[in-house]
Every structure is written in C-alpha cells, then in structure tokens.
Amino acid sequence: MSLDVPLDGVVIMEAPAKLNLYLHVTGRRDDGYHELDSLVAFASVGDRLRVEPAPELSLKIEGFFAEELDADTGNLVWRAAEAVRETAEITGGARITLTKNLPVAAGIGGGSADAAATVRALVQLWDMHPTSHDLSGLALSLGADVPVCLFGRSAYMRGIGEWVEPGPALPLVFLVLVNPGIPVSTPAVFMARQPPYSQKSPNLNETDDVTDFVDQLARRGNDLEAPAMGAAPVIGEVIDALEVAEDCLLARMSGSGATCFGLFKSREQADRVARDIRAKSPAWWVESADLIG
C-alpha cells in the first residue's frame, strides 16, 4: 500500500485515508478510552510524506489543507519522528515535508496516517530493523488509530485500537468521500456516546460479491454517527446527499466524522456522483477513490 521511492536518500511514503467501514463502540475503559470493534480499509487518496537526511529534524507542510495545521513539535508527524528517533537512539535528523491533501479532524485518520507514514519512512531512511512488537507499541503511544494505519491494509481493529487483525479480501468497490468542512472533535464525539454499548460482532464472511459485502456492512453501523451529528448536524445532509445519489450502495460516516463515504459498484458511478455533489455543494471536499483492501 505504501509507495516507497528511494531517490538519492529521499523516501516518499503515501499516507492513505482510513475508513471505518463499520464502527461499533463496545465499552468504555476506566481511563475514558472506548473499546471498539471496527473493520478498517483504506482509500486511494491521502497525504504524502517526503523525508530526506538532514542534521536536525524539520517539518514543512504544504498542500491544500496545509493552513489547517501547525508545523510545530505538537504535530503528530513531529511527535512520531521524535519517538522513532528516541527508539533508535539516532542523533541525526530528517527534513520532512508533509503534503496535506486530506481535511483535518475529519474521521479519516489523516493525522494517524501521517504519523504511521512518518514511522515507516524514518525506519527506512535510518535503516532500522525494529520488531513488529516495538513498532506497534510506538504506534499506539502516538494515537489509537496509528497501529491500524501502520498495518496499512484492511483490518479489524479492536480494543482501543491496539488489536489489529488482518481483515478480509475486499470485493472491488469504489468510493465517494465527502467532508462538509466542519472539524469535529474526536474526544467530544466519544464522550457523547452514552451506554448501552454495542455487542462485539463476529468477523464478516469473506466474499467477492459486492452486494453480499454491502448487505453485511448494512447490518452494522457507525455508533459515533448520532453523537457526531449532534455536534455537526450538517453530517446528516452529507449522508442524505450520498444516499439519494443514483447507484449508491451504502452511505456512512467514518470514524468520529465528519467525513462520510458512499460505496459504488463502478469507478464511473463514483466519479459521476462526486461531480454532482461537488457541483451542488462547492464548499464541501469531495473525492472519488478506489477502496484498498
């Protein structure tokens, strides 16, 4: 999934958008974190990270959503770089450039995907050979979604995000992603999710039939949709816009929102619907993409 292009010591890594195809909240721990049961997959759109050797760590952010983020030491990319550097006891640095194509605080794991891509890129740049155990501990310390982003393929995510199990091979299916431009606070949405919690579900039956796959997904949901809509009612409009679109098989919110996705049988259908929604709501971020299993 990640694209590494070594070029004179330069490493380029994709940070694909993460989608929760379903997301159930199954409990709440004493420390306030919530237990999840989710099938995660990735989209063919994402941020991009470029790292190259340098004496010090530095971070520059460019791209459509660059203005939304500070390139300071609080940035998840910076924190990931520091964590890798400490683990490897590296004294040198890296010049990091993040191209921010994904909306921020959007439920598609932009920050987590960037952190995971930073870890992967620096492990390669600094020729490290960490165990997967070391890497998953480091990833979890950066955020609950980082381990699954580091895994980078379709996966079931359980616990607060520390249990990542390979997911099923996915049928060929295409996406329209829509974000209404309202950032949503993940902690606030989780806090608004009150008991009773969902039961843990068994894994889906693996199938290459899109209709069967979508039927199985339709029997599950995103438990954070209602609390997120409480904070940002426009999410309801986004889901409606996808649901009423011709050929849309399923429309759902990802993560804690506000990005929603629609599933389609063909790329042509997804492209057409993306064009239509963009024309009707020019302020929204709308992308068609492939679903990567």
Return the number of the residue (141 or 211) whose C-beta is nearest ligand C5P: 141
Distance of alpha carbon 62 from alpha carbon 82, whole angstroms: 21
Q: Return the number of the residue (144 or 238) whose C-beta is nearest ligand C5P.
A: 144
Within the chain, residue ranges assigned H as helices are 76-88, 110-125, 132-142, 146-151, 186-192, 210-218, 225-231, 234-243, 267-280
According to CB under 6 A, which residues from 232 to 291 bind ligand C5P? none
Report the residue from 11, 160, 178, 228 that binds ligand C5P according to the rule CB under 6 A: 160
In this chain, which of 16, 107, 143, 167 binds ligand C5P, going by CB under 6 A?
143
**Nearest distance from residue 193's CB to ligand C5P, in Å?**
8
Q: Is 30 a catalytic residue?
A: no
Residue 8 Rama label (left phi>0; alpha psi -120 to 50; beta): left
Reply yes or no on whether 145 is catalytic: yes
Tokens of 144: 């609950």
Supply 256's token pair: 């804690």
Give me the 51-90 binding string for ligand C5P, x by CB under 6 A, dash otherwise: ----------------------------------------
190 touching ligand C5P, by CB under 6 A: yes
- Which of 14, 47, 114, 145 is the binder for ligand C5P (CB under 6 A)? 145
Bridge partners (DSSP) listed for residue 175: 263, 289
- State which of residues 19, 115, 144, 173 lies at the interface with ligand C5P (CB under 6 A): 144
Q: How many residues bind ligand C5P (CB under 6 A)?
A: 12
Stretch that binds ligand C5P, among 83-91, 139-147, 220-228, 229-237 (CB under 6 A): 139-147
Minimum separation from the CB atom of position 23 to ligand C5P (A): 10
What is the rounded CA–CA span in Å between residue 64 and residue 102? 8
C-alpha span between 232 and 183 (Å, rounded): 9
Q: How many CB atoms lie within 10 A of CB 265?
A: 17
- Report the interhelical angle of 76-88 vs 110-125 (nearest 10°): 30
Question: Which of 8, 18, 114, 223 is flagged as catalytic?
Answer: 18
Instruction: Give yes or no for a contact between 177 and 270, defined as CB atoms under 8 angstroms apart.
Output: no
Least distance (Å) from ligand C5P to the CB of residue 162? 9
Cα 146 from Cα 121, distance rounded (Å): 14
Interaction between residue 161 and ligand C5P (CB under 6 A): yes
Which residues have a catalytic role annotated? Answer: 18, 145
Query: Residue numbers of the site for ligand C5P (CB under 6 A)?
Result: 32-34, 36, 143-145, 160-161, 186-187, 190
